Chains A and B, each alone.
Chain A
Amino acid sequence: MYSKDMMNLLKEIMAVDFVLYELGLFLDTHPNERRALEDHNNFAKKSHQLKTAYEEKYGPLHINSISGFPYQYINDPWPWEIQYLGRESDVVL
């Protein structure tokens, strides 16, 4: 249903997007913090690159992403169905 490679890439996207969101939320109350904005923009680029790579291999993450035929956005697994496997020593990631 899904491979270890897919899982690793998805988890990398989760981590990068989490940082991107934390920086965005910080900037909401600190719009003049230049260093945070630079970091935010760098992570925005990184996120875009990772998602492009993911979608090419494993299908759309968004309803408005380009899809192969037949329409692949609907494909299982949906996020709540995934067993997010990790290393034995690390139950999380």
Chain B
Amino acid sequence: MSVPEDIGKEKGLFAAYKLAEAYIPIQIYGETFDPKAALIHGTLFPELYRPYPVRPKV
């Protein structure tokens, strides 16, 4: 199996991470929806909003 050349360069980015552990970035407090918009979106936080594309039904 060949390894792309630039994988070594990217290693620095992941130096703080250990193998065989899962990581999630800690959220930073920023902009928020107003109450009504928050309830419609299902979250107060625009950066956590991941809408599901509703497909047209037959």
Q: Which residues of A contact B (CB under 8 A)?
A: 12, 14-16, 18-19, 22-23, 26, 29-30, 33, 35-36, 39, 92-93
Which secondary structure dominates where chain A touches chain B? helix
User: Which residue of chain B has its CB nearest to the CB of A39?
Assistant: B32
- Assess whether A19 is in contact with B44, with CB atoms less than 8 Å apart: yes
Chain B positions within 8 Å of A, measured between CB atoms, are: 26-27, 29, 32, 35-36, 38-40, 43-45
Q: Is the interface of B mostly helix, strand, loop or mixed?
A: loop
- Pairwise interchain contact B35-A19, C-beta atoms closer than 8 A: yes
Nearest A residue to B40, CB-CB: A92
Report yes or no: B44 in contact with A22, Cβ–Cβ below 8 A.
yes
User: Quick one: given A19-B44, A22-B43, A22-B45, are A30 and B27 in contact (CB under 8 Å)?
Assistant: yes
